[in-house]
A and B are shown apart, each in its own frame.
Chain A
Amino acid sequence: MVPVAYRVERRREELPDTVTLWLRPTAQALPTPTPGQFNMLWAFGVGEVPISLAGVDGDVLAHTVRRVGQVTEALCALAEGDEVGVRGPYGAGWDLPRAAGRDVLVVAGGLGLVPLRPLIHDVLAGRHRFGSVALCIGARSPSELLYTEEVSRWADEMDVTIAVDTAPPSWKGRVGVVTKLIASAGIDPTLTTAFVCGPEVMMRFAARAALDRGVPPSEVFVSLERNMACAIGHCGHCQLGPHFVCKDGPVLAWDRVAPQLAVRAR
């Protein structure tokens, strides 16, 4: 439960309100997280928040943070050389090994691309182990797309489609909802494992679109967001029905969470 100090080695503005921090341990490194897991980041004297893993390179952790409150504001304000408390990794991540030999459908909405980024890195590192790989990205507008340079490189090895809600005429991509991309993604649905992350409403519709195509409910995985305060199942904040999102999730199979997500104001 005690954070260890990490130093900001590199900082990149992704969007006007979103920053990626590359963190290197000042002494002992934490165990290496797997894609889909999260760390608790502690801004000195301000507070602690769960932030999903955006990438890992040896001991260096990448975290992409959006400024949405006091703590994330403080994290986004960190400069290179500043220190931050880190504890983790926590939770159950993406079960990529189960997709070996199958097609892979990755659906990201908005900031949901962050926890999927290390998953995509792992897919690319073992690209031959998977069949068709389709990445469907949804965002509000072209200016709110994350990791654009990297995404265009990914497109060499997988089918990448992007849809935005509205766009200026200069936008050459799709305009519409991300669910439409799922409907036409080049995958064999019954042999597909889907990994979905984004705001909860978007995930509900994305999961439904995947199911409509014939992807089995047990092969659709979503990553849920809740306000974990402890990350070890003690604080009670992240409960969703029987699940503690911090330790049973954040990644859960659709057939396990669909009943809870169907309850209004669960």
Chain B
Amino acid sequence: MTSIADLLADHPLFEGLPPGSNELIAGCGRNAHFATGEYLLSADASADEFFVLRRGHVAIEVDTPRRGPLVVATLGEGEVLGVSWMLPPYRWTFDARAVEPTSAIALDASCLRAKCDDDPALGYELFKRFAGLVRNRLQAARLQLVDLYGNDAS
């Protein structure tokens, strides 16, 4: 069976870290499985655990009183779910629901934060990689804001 450290080593977010780093990070991880319709994250809940998706498909949602839940983005295999664990107040902003059976590596947020504090070089490297992820999400969100396919975007 492939260890969590090996799985992480193959992931673009964790590949090429200094030797031993993935084992260190894997110490905060566990395998998690979600059935269709099960929630991985809930808005306003404490950001204790985030996910590296291995299989499946997750919808990030905002619940609205009249229109019901609206899906604002979806994440799939190889993507990382959850960035609010990185900074106070460590609380999720959106709901995340499994659209199909989904497997993930769940990483304990306070465990990983503590390891980053103990090893600032590793922490800086990890935060740089997460900053890239946040940049991509921000760019995508801005493009969605533009209404790319509408008449006015021509």
Contact = CB atoms under 8 A, between A and B. Distances in A.
A–B contact, 8 Å CB criterion (strictly below): yes
Interface of A: 68, 109-112, 138-140, 144, 163, 165-169, 171-180, 184, 198-202, 205, 225
A169 B153 contact: no
A201 B148 contact: yes
Q: Taking each of A109, A163, A167, which has the highest tally of chain B beta carbons within 10 Å of its own beta carbon?
A: A167
Contact of B154 (A169, A175, A199): A199
Given A179-B140, A205-B143, A200 B71 contact: no
A168 B148 contact: no
Given A110-B150, A175-B60, 11 more contacts: A139-B149, A163-B74, A166-B144, A169-B68, A171-B71, A175-B74, A176-B74, A179-B140, A199-B153, A200-B153, A205-B148
A156 B99 CA distance: 22
B49 to A, nearest CB: 23
**By DSSP majority rule, is chain A's interface helix, strand, loop, or mixed?**
mixed
B59 interface: yes
Interface of B: 59-61, 67-74, 76, 97, 99-100, 140, 143-144, 146-151, 153-154
Given A177-B140, A205-B143, A110 B72 contact: no
B144 A174 contact: no
A135 to B, nearest CB: 16
Contact of B143 (A139, A140, A179, A200): A179
Contact of A169 (B97, B100, B143, B144): B97
